[in-house]
């Protein structure tokens, strides 16, 4: 791992981000280069970034969890409904909601580990079922916003000019980074993602860790859903819309910071580089549809980039990333 | 026929191949030798278009320049490969795998299955393989996989002439009889004016089949000469200089630990491919497992450990019963197992050498709240120097960046590092050079000396005989006998593992 090119590879996202700042800063300095833009980009992306972290954990273990969007969505509805319609106070409502989300992860894990259904299919299925539950709970109508003053403050009070949700995101990133990089659990999860059979024969409890990763993923999605309810207010439809950007960021993240493996800081970097790009374009052009276009394009580019890195002469074994849907892995150089 | 000039390849600042020049004549079998990490596979991957070399070199096949980095160019100029990792698709059938190389016969874009099957069967026949074309490649033994890869490389495609056949350690896990078969194939191929590059660490094979030999060291050619009049010891000398007399390393056989306590007990253990067998292994004892391909040899260790489904029977380690099919508990109980399939079942190629090495014992380095990286690095460095892994500062490189033999050493270190009471290894020296082979044998003997019960399964009878106190003989899915003491000889083991035609008839009736 010799650093020969000033991190051009590992931190190319930072350079790209800096480039965006430079371009849009020169283009529309009075719109773009403001602390308002900075703060709003930071908190607008916080929920999406949390979902990307949720996607990241099972992805490191070689599983795709497509249900995070649905889990976030139903969590918002539950936490709001409990408070507005059933008179719960904030604390218990949040706790119960996150537990319910974790149970969804438990079910995902059961289907994947015990019934041995491929995670891709399994979570596609549970996502649909969860969406149905959401309709049952909400009865198709958006629940009213909880009136307690604490509810808004949960995410919107400001710290150093940033909404506090940004701080939550940082804490969560540190947590995920710590678990994946600095604990045995992370070692096991990466080993399972790299070669399940070898991990199993090395004494790694493959089923257990895979299951745990699905639970962690759903719990994080649940937290993201709760915070969304406080930050933006209840919504019945936002969850699935955040799924694609979450995957785009997690994929793009595999090319950053620790190239070749899905990782927390790379994911965070990816989220914000994309966001800065989108924001700048929106300010310049004034159109709203850029977001979707950018995210879709970024997903494809991210995967293409990861594959290209791998196939490039001098990159390591093709076999390591041979599974067509697996997170692309390439060796660090 | 093949002319290589000034070929170099550098990986992140380190030269794997440095200015190689080489000429190979049509009809010649050219042995390419060299220690682990000397650049053999790198050279071959350049020929096949997988790696792009550093600028400045050139390769000509039958007079025409090869386009680097293009597998198509390599194929159309007549080069065929059996790579070290074979490159088969585990989840496809034997039939599909052999057909991928040449393309399926088609009518109106539809695969003509019957014709494809016909061709495939003919191809397998020609290669002397008795395999079910519908079997999944993943379910085959390593030796069978090698055979499929060879059959595929030789499969004729219309309008393409094979000029060069390149085999990267095809014999690493082949038993003697199949080696004979493969060498015969090589001779036959070369007699059709095809050039053959043959990489191996087994010198007898070189002596038997090669016309010409080239030795690499650190990516440079250090010798190239004809085989006439070359003896084995001269060959060893070419390879390693005066440093080592390979036969002495394992000469000292261990005393029989006749009254040491029993470490491993197996009672009527059976799997899908092996009939029930009993076995006791004492502390400090080395037991070999011998058998030809398909004899069930490959399943014995795995079934004891729990890597393979144990249908019935009981396994105890130091009197504690093991749950079937539960590698994690077996490891906790002190039993470890290194499978023969290095890349698919052994290593996690995308993780670093260090992470691979400590995978079976991660918690040893865990002290809340952080993994103790320094301690882990020190441990890796220790094993790297103990087993001579190169590059020696490569502990953070991904496993896939190591040469085949060095991967083997790293994975062995993983298991030795567990300080097991029962150590089971399948093909422990596959792909390692003669020095490393001696080193690994020393390690196994050393483990036994310190009281470990060692089980070695190998297609290499010399190795089994050199190491073992006793040798289990498998034939047609049954443990037919256990040779002991002075009965453990190369001749005996080889003879007993082969089923005589007489017995075959007997068993059929
Ligand atoms: N993808 C890679 N990235 C970095 N280094 C590599 C890569 N592939 C090979 N190397 C290095 O190049 C050198 C030569 O490796 P190569 O695989 O050619 O050895 P080899 O002669 O085939 O050895 P073996 O007998 O063990 O198979 C080794 O030091 C290896 O670590
Ligand atoms: Mg090699």
Give the residue carrying structure tokens 């790198």: B42
> Same domain, yes or no, for B67 and B190?
yes
Final residue in a domain of this structure, among B240, B270, B287:
B240
Of A46-55, A213-222, A311-320, B190-199, the range with the lowest mean pLDDT is A311-320
Average pLDDT over residues A302-316: 61
pLDDT in tens, A172-223: 999 999 999 999 999 999 999 999 999 999 999 999 999 999 999 999 999 9
pLDDT range class, residue A312, cuts 50, 70, 90: low
Give phi and psi for B37, each to the nearest 5: 80, 15
pTM above 0.95, yes or no: no
DSSP assignment string, B286-333: EEEEE--TTSSHHHHHHHHHTSS---EEEEEETTEEPPTT-HHHHHHT
Residue A98 to residue A78: CA distance in whole angstroms: 10
Q: Closest Cα of chain A to B187: distance in Å? A: 31
> Same domain, yes or no, for B429 and B399?
no
Per-residue pLDDT, A311: 58
With CB atoms and an 8 Å threshold, state whether A201 touches B348.
Answer: no
Does A5 have pLDDT greater than 60? Answer: no
Residue B348 to residue B359: CA distance in whole angstroms: 9
Is the CB of A199 inside 8 Å of chain B's CB atoms? Answer: yes
Per-residue pLDDT, B154: 77
Measure the N-to-C terminal CA separation of chain B; round to a whole number of Å: 53
> Same domain, yes or no, for B132 and B201?
yes
Buried b (16+ CB within 10 A) or exposed e, A241-273: ebbebbbbbbbbbbbbbbbbbbbbbbbbbbbbb
With CB atoms and an 8 Å threshold, state whether A184 touches B331.
Answer: no
Residues facing residue B65 across a β-bridge: B60
- How many domains does chain B divide into? 3
Is the CB of A260 inside 8 Å of chain B's CB atoms? Answer: yes
Distance A176 CA to ligand 2 centre (A): 38
Per-residue pLDDT, A332: 33
pLDDT range class, residue A286, cuts 50, 70, 90: confident
Nearest to A247 by CA among A159, A124, A145: A124
Q: What is the mean pLDDT of chain A?
A: 87
Please give all residues whose beta carbon lies within 6 A of any atom in ligand 1, as ranges: A 316; B 11, 16, 34, 36-42, 84, 390-391, 401-406, 431
Looking at the CA of B407, which ligand is closest? 1
For ligand 1, what atom is nearest to the CA of residue B400? 1
- Whether the Cβ atoms of residue B7 and residue B43 lie closer than 8 Å to each other: yes
> Same domain, yes or no, for B329 and B388?
no
Nearest to B13 by CA among A1, A306, A145, A35: A1
Does A321 have pLDDT greater than 60? Answer: no
Residue B225 parent element (H or E): strand B220-226
Which residue range forms the structural domain that includes residue B469?
248-334+421-509
- Whether the Cβ atoms of residue B20 and residue B43 lie closer than 8 Å to each other: yes
> Same domain, yes or no, for B435 and B383?
no
> Same domain, yes or no, for B72 and B96?
yes
> Same domain, yes or no, for B261 and B386?
no
Contacts A200 to B, Cβ<8 Å = 327
Per-residue pLDDT, B120: 78
Final residue in a domain of this structure, among B401, B419, B437:
B419
Is the CB of A320 inside 8 Å of chain B's CB atoms? Answer: yes
pLDDT in tens, A145-177: 998 889 999 999 999 889 999 999 999 999 999
Per-residue pLDDT, B182: 87
Distance B487 CA to ligand 1 centre (A): 41
> Same domain, yes or no, for B14 and B29?
yes
Inter-chain contacts counted by CB atoms under 8 A, chains A and B: 111
CATH number for position B500: 3.40.50.300
Is the CB of B327 inside 8 Å of chain A's CB atoms? Answer: yes
**Burial class of residue B50 in the structure, from the number of CB atoms within 10 Å of its CB (0-12 exposed, 13-18 middle, 19+ buried):** buried
With CB atoms and an 8 Å threshold, state whether A184 touches B347.
Answer: no
> Same domain, yes or no, for B231 and B273?
no
> Same domain, yes or no, for B316 and B427?
yes
Residue B397 to residue A315: CA distance in whole angstroms: 12
What SS3 class is residue B453?
A: strand
Per-residue pLDDT, A13: 82
With CB atoms and an 8 Å threshold, state whether B69 touches A313.
Answer: yes
Final residue in a domain of this structure, among B240, B269, B289:
B240
> Same domain, yes or no, for B319 and B425?
yes
Query: What SS3 string covers B59-73?
Result: EEECCEECCCCCHHH
Angle CA(B393)–CA(B397)–CA(B402) in degrees, nearest 5? 85
Farthest CA pair distance, chain A: 62
pLDDT range class, residue A309, cuts 50, 70, 90: low
Average pLDDT over residues A121-144: 94
> Same domain, yes or no, for B18 and B80?
yes
pLDDT in tens, A57-104: 999 999 999 999 999 999 999 999 999 999 999 999 999 999 999 999
With CB atoms and an 8 Å threshold, state whether A319 touches B327.
Answer: no
Give phi and psi for B128, each to the nearest 5: 75, 30
The tens place of each residue's pLDDT in chain B, 509 residues long, gives: 899 999 999 998 889 999 999 999 999 999 999 999 999 999 999 999 999 999 999 999 988 899 999 988 998 888 999 988 777 887 888 888 877 766 676 666 676 777 778 877 877 777 667 788 888 888 887 778 888 888 888 776 656 788 999 999 998 888 887 888 889 889 988 998 999 999 999 999 999 999 999 999 999 999 999 999 888 888 888 888 765 554 444 545 666 777 889 999 999 999 999 999 999 999 999 999 999 888 899 999 999 999 999 999 999 999 999 999 999 999 999 999 999 999 889 999 999 999 999 999 999 999 999 999 999 999 999 999 999 998 999 999 999 999 999 999 999 999 999 999 999 999 999 999 999 999 999 999 999 999 999 999 999 999 999 999 999 999 989 999 999 988 899 999 999 988 654 454 444 44
- Ion ligand 2 neighbours, Cβ < 5 Å: B 41, 84, 403-404
Per-residue pLDDT, A316: 39
């Amino acid at each position: 791992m010799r650093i020969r090119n000033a991190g051009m590879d590992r931190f190319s996202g930072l350079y790209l981000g800096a480039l965006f700042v430079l371009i849009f800063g020169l283009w529309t300095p009075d719109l773009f280069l403001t602390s308002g833009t900075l703060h709003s980009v930071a908190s607008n992306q916080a929920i999406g970034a949390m979902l990307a972290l949720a996607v990241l954990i099972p992805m490191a273990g070689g599983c795709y969890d497509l249900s995070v969007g649905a889990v976030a969505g139903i969590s918002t509805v539950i936490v709001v409904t409990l408070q507005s319609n059933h008179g719960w106070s904030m604390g218990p409502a949040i706790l119960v909601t996150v537990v319910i989300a974790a149970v969804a992860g438990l079910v995902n894990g059961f289907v994947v580990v015990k019934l041995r259904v491929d995670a891709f299919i399994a979570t596609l299925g549970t996502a649909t079922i969860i969406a149905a539950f959401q309709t049952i709970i909400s009865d198709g109508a958006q629940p009213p916003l909880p009136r307690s003053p604490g509810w808004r403050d949960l995410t919107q009070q400001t710290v150093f000019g940033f909404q506090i949700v940004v701080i939550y995101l940082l804490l969560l990133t540190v947590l995920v980074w710590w678990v994946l990089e600095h604990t045995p659990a992370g070692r096991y999860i990466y080993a399972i993602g790299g070669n399940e059979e070898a991990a199993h024969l090395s004494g790694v409890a493959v089923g257990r860790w895979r299951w745990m990763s699905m639970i962690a993923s759903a719990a994080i999605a649940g937290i993201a859903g709760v915070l969304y309810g406080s930050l933006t207010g209840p919504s019945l439809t936002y969850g699935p819309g955040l799924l694609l950007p979450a995957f785009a960021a997690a994929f793009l993240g595999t090319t950053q910071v620790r190239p070749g493996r899905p990782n927390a800081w790379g994911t965070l970097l990816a989220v914000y580089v994309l966001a800065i790009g989108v924001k700048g374009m929106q300010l310049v052009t004034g159109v709203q549809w850029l977001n979707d276009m950018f995210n879709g394009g970024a997903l494809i580019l991210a995967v293409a980039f990861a594959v290209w890195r791998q196939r490039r002469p001098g990159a390591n074994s093709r076999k390591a990333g041979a599974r067509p849907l697996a997170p692309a892995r390439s060796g660090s150089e | 026929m093949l002319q290589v000039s000034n070929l170099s390849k550098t990986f992140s600042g380190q030269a794997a191949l440095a200015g190689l020049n080489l000429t190979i004549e049509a009809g010649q079998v050219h042995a390419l030798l060299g220690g682990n990490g000397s650049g053999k596979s790198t050279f071959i991957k350049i020929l096949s278009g997988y790696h792009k070399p550093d600028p400045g070199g050139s390769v000509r096949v039958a007079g025409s320049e090869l386009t680097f980095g293009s597998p198509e160019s390599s194929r159309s100029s007549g080069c065929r490969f059996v790579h070290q990792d074979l490159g088969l698709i585990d989840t496809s059938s034997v039939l599909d795998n052999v057909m991928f190389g040449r393309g399926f016969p088609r009518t109106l874009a539809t695969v003509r299955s019957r014709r494809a099957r016909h061709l495939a069967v003919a191809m397998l026949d020609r290669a002397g393989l008795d395999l079910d074309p519908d079997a999944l490649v993943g379910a085959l033994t390593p030796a069978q996989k090698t055979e499929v890869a060879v059959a595929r490389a030789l499969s004729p495609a219309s309008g393409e002439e094979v000029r060069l056949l390149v085999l990267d350690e095809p014999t690493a896990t082949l038993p003697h009889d199949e080696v004979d078969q493969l060498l015969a194939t090589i001779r036959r191929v070369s007699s059709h004016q095809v050039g053959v590059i043959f990489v191996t660490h087994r010198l007898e094979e070189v002596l038997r089949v090669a016309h010409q030999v080239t030795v690499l060291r650190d990516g440079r050619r250090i010798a190239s000469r004809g085989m006439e009049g070359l003896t084995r010891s001269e060959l060893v000398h070419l390879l390693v200089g005066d440093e080592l007399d390979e036969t002495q390393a394992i000469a000292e056989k261990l005393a029989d630990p006749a009254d040491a306590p029993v470490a491993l007990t197996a009672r009527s253990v059976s799997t899908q491919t092996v009939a029930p067998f009993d076995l006791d292994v004492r502390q400090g004892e080395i037991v070999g497992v011998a058998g030809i391909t398909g004899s069930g040899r490959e399943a014995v260790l795995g079934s004891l450990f729990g890597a393979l489904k144990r249908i019935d029977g009981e396994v105890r380690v130091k009197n504690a019963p093991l749950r079937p099919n539960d590698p994690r508990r077996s490891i906790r109980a002190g039993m470890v197992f290194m499978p023969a399939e290095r890349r698919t079942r052994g290593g996690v190629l995308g993780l670093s050498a260090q992470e691979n090495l400590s995978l079976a014992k991660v918690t040893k380095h865990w002290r809340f709240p952080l993994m103790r990286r320094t301690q882990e690095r020190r441990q890796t460095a220790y094993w790297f120097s103990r087993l001579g892994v190169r590059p020696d500062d490569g502990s953070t490189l991904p496993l896939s960046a190591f040469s085949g033999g060095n991967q083997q050493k790293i994975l062995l270190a993983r298991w030795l590092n567990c300080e097991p009471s029962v150590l089971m290894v399948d093909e422990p020296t596959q792909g390692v050079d003669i020095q490393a082979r001696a080193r690994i044998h020393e390690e196994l003997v050393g483990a036994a000396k310190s009281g470990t019960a060692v089980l070695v399964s190998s297609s290499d009878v010399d190795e089994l005989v050199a190491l073992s106190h006793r040798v289990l003989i498998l034939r047609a899915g049954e443990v037919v006998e256990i040779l002991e003491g002075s009965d453990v000889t190369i001749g005996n083991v080889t003879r007993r593992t082969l089923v005589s035609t007489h017995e075959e008839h007997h068993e059929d009736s």
